[in-house]
């Protein structure tokens, strides 16, 4: 137990004499109060229509003297004002209680703390109590004031007389708060020899409701005054006092209480931490998306994903979404063909974004045995591609430290294989809608892993549309999915009258670090989109050379932003106008996002996925 008792008064150097009009002591206190008065005055100038542009400033007074190093009591908002029966005055300017409450509410220094008013004259003047109570009711926080001089020493405020507290739900008569702030303990009140005892049936008046503030410019008041009371003010306790408190009672000085410090438990206890697996980060473009999130109904569920384990070294994770499920409406998590309410009737219509041609989805993944399997699938070209990759890694060491835990050699070798004749076989299988053989699945997932090691292109890329393609099928606002690996060019060219795709890329990977250029003497090479990339159609424009241009933006999430689409479309038009005089890029072998028969691909992969 630790006992703290006040045995002697504080040294005289800590308490500097002061006038009897409640004036603070010390230069630092005066500067602090001037700053608080300036902040409140600025709020008054913003709120009051007749306040003008001049901010009231608390000028220096004769009370400034060296010796005090702490501004105001801890946990209180101190403010020097002139108080009277009719209201307050800041720098000679009359301010009503409601206006001062709004000004304090808007002051950033307040932060909901109790308010200590250094009033001139003191709070014991006749008729000041109702004004201070009205300020507490309008502010929703306790208001403190002293009936005599105040001293500030090391985070505390002491008074020659008493501090009085006006609470929002109390009456015009205040409660005694002792002669020290923050309070050191409960206030002990005992009657004088006159023998007068306060009436126990005296009840404080009902709480004053906070004024309504329909105007958004006026400051709101707290709904519950108890919520605005600080913990320091909650420590104050004492019996309810009637009106003639000053005449019937005298409040004695507070003695420092005995403080019991609990003994801490220093025993060491064993803590058991729950083990959990940290999920790996990967770029997943096979997740289901909603073409129009604003129009999507919350009752429509996304088709469930099932994981199937295949035997053998080529175990693949399959995302099961049947073609019938993409064409059939769903109204709940477990609904199939029947309505949600169990009654017969026509099923609700399904958005066209949920219908489309099936396709095979792949994820980026490499296994330990993939190199030997690639050697068997690619034959002698595997060794040639390995030499190219080794040369690229020596010239660009950053490729080894790319994101992911994939086999860099196997992934980059597969990317080179796609550009060397294998890509046609892989892309046809991915766009066919069926389940490809194990060799195609191996090449597809290793190629996706290899693309993640290459740097991305954040800007416009271009490709030529297939010959005879009607670009009118691309409508602004649609979302298309391309299941195949798509090779594009970093330049658009101006020669030829064939239509072109102008795509704003976010994840297309540059191929120039692998030595893949786009023609002799061309610095800007080619890039490749991963299988399953999604694109938002921004519109079809006529280019500078008269050829139609399909404006697309790559979408990496299901969120659509109309303002972003407008900005990207403007940047694509500017990039098309700035293209140099050169040949157009090579045309794509298939229309982007459309299967045979002009049918768009579904937004989700078909049955099975690697």
Task: Using pLDDT thresholds of 50, 70 and 90, give the confidence band for residue 126.
Answer: low
Q: Could you tell me which residues are beta bridge partners of residue 529? A: 486
Alpha helices of 48-162 — where are they, by DSSP H? 97-106, 129-139
Two tokens, residue 205: 């008046």
379-383, 463-467, 556-560: the lowest-pLDDT one: 556-560
Q: How far apart are CA 553 and CA 568, in angstroms?
A: 7
**SS in 3 state form for 223-250?**
CCHHHHCCHHHHCCCCCCCCCCHHHHEE
Spacing of C-alpha 587 from chain mean position: 43
> From residue 498, how far is each of 41, 465, 466, 587 by CA, in Å?
70, 7, 8, 9
Strands 526-529 and 459-464, by their bridges, are unpaired
Please count the other Cβ atoms lying within 10 Å of the Cβ belonging to residue 96.
16
Backbone angles phi, psi at 541, to 5 degrees: -115, 165
Task: Using pLDDT thresholds of 50, 70 and 90, give the confidence band for residue 262.
Answer: low
Asked if 418 contacts 377 with a C-beta cutoff of 8 angstroms, the reply is no
Q: pLDDT tens digits, residue range 57-79?
A: 434 443 333 333 346 677 888 88
Share of the chain above pLDDT 90, in %: 20
Backbone angles phi, psi at 37, to 5 degrees: -65, -35
Nearest one of 412, 350, 355 to 385, comparing CA atoms: 412
Q: How far apart are CA 557 and CA 472, in angstroms?
A: 26
Look up residue 172 and give its DSSP letter: S
Q: How far apart are CA 67 and CA 16, in angstroms?
A: 7
- What pLDDT score was predicted for residue 266? 64
> From residue 578, how far is each of 211, 465, 496, 508 by CA, in Å?
63, 20, 16, 21
Q: Average model confidence (pLDDT) for the chain?
A: 69
Q: How far apart are CA 33 and CA 443, in angstroms?
A: 75
Q: pLDDT tens digits, residue range 489-528?
A: 988 776 777 788 999 999 999 998 888 765 544 446 889 9
Q: How far apart are CA 436 and CA 440, in angstroms?
A: 6
> From residue 234, how far is each of 134, 158, 185 by CA, in Å?
20, 19, 11
Peptide bond into 210 cis (omega under 30): no
Please count the other Cβ atoms lying within 10 Å of the Cβ belonging to residue 120.
17
Residues of the chain with CATH 3.90.176.10: 459-577
Q: pLDDT tens digits, residue range 181-207?
A: 887 755 454 444 444 433 334 343 343
Two tokens, residue 538: 């921004």
**pTM of the predicted model, to two decimals?**
0.45
Please count the other Cβ atoms lying within 10 Å of the Cβ belonging to residue 149.
21
Query: String of b and e for 173-212 (b: at least 16 CB within 10 Å)?
Result: bbbbbbbbbbbbbebebeeeeeeeebeeeeeeeeebebee
- What pLDDT score was predicted for residue 571? 92
The topology under which CATH files domain 459-577 is Toxin ADP-ribosyltransferase; Chain A, domain 1 (3.90.176)
Coil, helix or strand at residue 77: strand
Q: How far apart are CA 240 and CA 176, in angstroms?
A: 10
DSSP string computed for 455-524: PB--EEEEEEPPTT--GGG--TT-EEEE-S-EEEES---S-SS--EEEEEESSPEE-GGGT--SSTT-SS
Q: Could you tell me which residues are beta bridge partners of residue 251? A: 189
- What pLDDT score was predicted for residue 29? 64
């Amino acid at each position: 137990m630790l006992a703290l008792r006040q045995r002697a008064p504080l040294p005289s150097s800590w308490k500097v004499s002061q006038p009897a009009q409640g004036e603070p002591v010390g230069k630092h206190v005066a500067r602090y109060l001037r700053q608080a008065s300036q902040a409140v005055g600025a709020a008054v100038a913003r709120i009051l229509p007749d306040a003008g542009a001049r901010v009231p400033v608390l000028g220096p007074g004769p009370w400034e003297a060296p010796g005090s190093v702490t501004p105001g009591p801890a946990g209180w908002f101190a403010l020097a004002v002139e108080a009277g029966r009719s209201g307050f005055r800041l720098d000679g300017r009359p301010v009503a209680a409601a206006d001062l409450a709004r000004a304090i509410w808007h002051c950033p220094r307040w932060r909901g703390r109790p308010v200590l008013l250094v009033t001139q004259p003191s709070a014991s003047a006749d008729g000041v109590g109702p004004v201070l109570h009205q300020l507490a009711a309008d502010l929703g926080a306790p208001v403190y004031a002293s009936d005599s001089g105040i001293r500030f020493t090391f985070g505390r405020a002491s008074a020659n007389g008493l501090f009085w507290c006006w609470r929002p739900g109390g009456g015009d008569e205040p409660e005694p708060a002792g002669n020290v702030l923050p309070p050191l303990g409960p206030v002990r009140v005992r009657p004088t020899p006159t023998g007068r005892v306060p009436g126990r049936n005296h009840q404080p008046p009902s709480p004053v409701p906070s004024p309504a503030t329909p105007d958004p410019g006026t400051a709101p008041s707290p709904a519950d005054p108890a919520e605005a009371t600080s913990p320091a003010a909650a420590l104050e306790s004492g019996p309810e006092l009637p009106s003639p408190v000053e005449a019937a009672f005298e409040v004695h000085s507070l003695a420092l209480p005995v403080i019991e410090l609990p003994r801490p438990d220093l025993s060491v206890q064993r803590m058991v931490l729950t083990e959990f697996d940290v999920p790996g980060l990967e770029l997943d473009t096979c997740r289901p998306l909603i073409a129009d999130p604003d129009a999507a109904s919350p009752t429509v569920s996304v088709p469930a994903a099932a994981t199937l384990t295949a035997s053998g070294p080529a175990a693949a994770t399959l995302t099961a979404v049947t073609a019938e499920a993409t064409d059939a409406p769903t109204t709940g998590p477990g609904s199939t063909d029947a309505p949600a309410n169990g009654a017969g009737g026509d099923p609700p219509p399904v958005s066209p974004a949920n219908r489309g041609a099936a396709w095979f989805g792949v994820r980026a993944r490499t296994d330990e045995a993939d190199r030997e399997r690639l050697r068997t699938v690619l034959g002698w070209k595997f060794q040639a591609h390995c030499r190219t990759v080794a040369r690229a890694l020596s010239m660009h060491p950053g490729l080894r430290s790319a994101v992911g835990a994939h086999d860099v050699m196997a992934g980059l070798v597969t990317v080179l294989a796609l550009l060397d004749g294998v890509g046609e076989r892989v892309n046809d299988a991915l766009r066919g809608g069926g389940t490809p053989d194990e060799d195609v699945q191996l090449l597809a997932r290793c190629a996706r892993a290899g693309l993640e090691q290459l740097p991305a292109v954040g800007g416009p890329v271009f490709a030529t549309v297939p010959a005879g393609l009607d670009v009118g099928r691309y409508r602004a606002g649609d979302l298309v999915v391309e299941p195949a690996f798509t090779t594009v060019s970093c330049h658009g060219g101006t020669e030829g009258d064939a239509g072109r795709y102008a795509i704003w890329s976010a994840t297309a990977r540059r191929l120039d670090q692998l030595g893949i250029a786009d023609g002799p003497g061309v610095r800007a090479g080619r890039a490749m989109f991963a299988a399953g990339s999604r694109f938002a159609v921004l519109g079809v424009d006529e280019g500078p050379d008269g050829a139609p241009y399909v404006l697309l933006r790559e979408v990496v999430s299901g969120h659509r932003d109309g303002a972003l689409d407008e900005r990207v479309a403007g940047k694509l038009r500017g990039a098309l106008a700035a293209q140099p005089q050169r040949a157009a890029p090579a045309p794509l072998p298939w229309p982007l996002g459309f299967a045979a028969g002009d049918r768009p691909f579904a937004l989700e992969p078909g049955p099975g996925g690697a």
